[in-house]
């Protein structure tokens, strides 16, 4: 039994890989992912120029997840293009994640990665942690402007990292853009932005940037992520497989991954659990998922995908 799958026509030899943003900024970190059971390597969201990110503390573990306000610390896209060439020898799909600070940045970033050794581009329209900037994908007009500029550049599949939506009208608007601009895959969801955690001992916020507001990750957000994966699956896969869905948010066991599979996800990404457990999480989660599938008599991922039943 294998949990092999495909996203945007590209084969992955198992279902669970790393989420952008966790221990994937430097070449050394990316090599750890390359040497793990993660079937793909996604890199940290990058900007045009290198960025140090926000002041610390900016990432805090919580009992059921984490809160983070990193502020896009990254080495700048030119480094990640070089890293991609050096990672090719691992023979795993390499995914760039791009994040513009201005909407015109996206065009430059996508143009550069279209000419590089990466296999897929995840366009991050949902970073919640830049002071004074909203999450792009909450502004459908701005998202449309960006997609109009990037959708015809090059042949490598483009996907979107989406923020959580809490209303089906917003998901329908975004699904319409996704169809119109031939988006190949979507990742649902980014962290739940602008949440507040308070330490009652110190009577302070637990992180320093943005008056303590940060993206919430881990178990807390799994039901929100599942609802987004499911709703987009229903909106985008009515006539056969068109847009691959990647689930992200609170996956730390094979059972969590199986929930996303039932909801309709073609693959899942792991962030907080990777930060807590290290690179062994990929093998463990994939094995747990495979034994659930075996026990339930499913022969492969495809057979179980989207099979959620309603009461």
Which positions are annotated as active-site residues? 127
Is residue 135 a contact residue for ligand DHB (CB under 6 A)?
no
Question: Shortest Cβ distance from residue 47 to ligand DHB (Å)?
Answer: 9
Read off the DSSP letter of residue 210. Answer: G
Output the CA angle 174-145-163, nearest 5 degrees. 40
Is residue 215 a contact residue for ligand DHB (CB under 6 A)?
yes
Q: Over the range 194-206, which residues count as b (16 or more CB within 10 Å of their CB) and which as e?
A: bbeeeeeeeeebb
Question: For residues 107 and 194, which CB has a smaller minimum distance to ligand DHB in the complex?
Answer: 194
Is residue 127 a contact residue for ligand DHB (CB under 6 A)?
yes
CA distances from 176 to 27, 31, 144, 172 (A): 37, 37, 10, 6
Judge contact between 161 and 178, C-beta under 8 A.
no
Question: For residues 245 and 289, which CB has a smaller minimum distance to ligand DHB in the complex?
Answer: 245
Is residue 126 a contact residue for ligand DHB (CB under 6 A)?
yes
Residue selected from 5, 184, 191, 286 as contacting ligand DHB according to rule CB under 6 A: 191
Dist CA 188 CA 211 (whole Å): 26
Backbone phi, psi, residue 167, to 5° = -145, 135
Is residue 21 a contact residue for ligand DHB (CB under 6 A)?
yes
Read off the DSSP letter of residue 306. Answer: T
Question: For residues 125 and 292, which CB has a smaller minimum distance to ligand DHB in the complex?
Answer: 125
Dist CA 219 CA 118 (whole Å): 31
Is residue 16 a contact residue for ligand DHB (CB under 6 A)?
no
Residue selected from 14, 36, 124, 205 as contacting ligand DHB according to rule CB under 6 A: 124
Is residue 128 a contact residue for ligand DHB (CB under 6 A)?
yes
Site of interaction with ligand DHB (CB under 6 A): 21, 45, 53, 69-72, 99, 124, 126-129, 190-191, 215
């Amino acid at each position: 039994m294998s949990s092999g799958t495909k996203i945007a026509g590209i084969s992955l030899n198992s279902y669970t890989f790393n989420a952008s943003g966790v221990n994937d900024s430097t070449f050394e970190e990316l090599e750890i992912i390359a040497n793990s059971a993660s079937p793909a390597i996604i890199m940290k969201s990058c900007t045009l120029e290198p960025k140090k990110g926000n002041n610390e503390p900016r990432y805090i573990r919580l009992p059921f997840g984490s809160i983070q306000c990193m502020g896009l610390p990254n080495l700048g896209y030119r480094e990640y293009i070089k890293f991609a060439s050096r990672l090719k020898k691992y023979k795993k799909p390499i995914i760039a994640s791009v994040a513009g600070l201005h909407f015109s940045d996206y065009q430059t970033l996508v143009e550069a990665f279209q000419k590089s050794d990466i296999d897929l581009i995840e366009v991050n329209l949902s970073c919640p942690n830049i002071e004074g900037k909203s999450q792009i994908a909450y502004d459908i007009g701005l998202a449309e402007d960006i997609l109009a500029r990037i959708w015809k550049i090059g042949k490598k599949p483009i996907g979107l990292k989406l923020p959580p939506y809490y209303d089906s009208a917003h998901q329908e608007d975004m699904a319409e853009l996704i169809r119109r601009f031939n988006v190949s895959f979507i990742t649902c969801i980014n962290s739940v932005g602008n949440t507040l955690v308070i330490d009652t001992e110190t009577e302070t916020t637990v992180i320093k940037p943005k008056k303590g507001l940060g993206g919430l990750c881990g178990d807390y957000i799994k039901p929100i992520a599942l609802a987004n994966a499911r709703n987009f699956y229903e909106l985008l896969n009515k006539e056969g497989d068109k847009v691959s869905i990647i689930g992200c948010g609170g996956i730390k066991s094979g059972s969590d991954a199986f929930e996303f599979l039932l909801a309709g996800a073609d693959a899942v990404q792991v962030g907080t659990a990777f930060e807590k457990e290290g690179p062994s999480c990929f093998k463990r989660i994939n094995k747990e998922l495979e034994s659930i599938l075996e026990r339930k008599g499913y022969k492969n991922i495809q057979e179980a995908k989207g099979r959620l039943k309603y009461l």
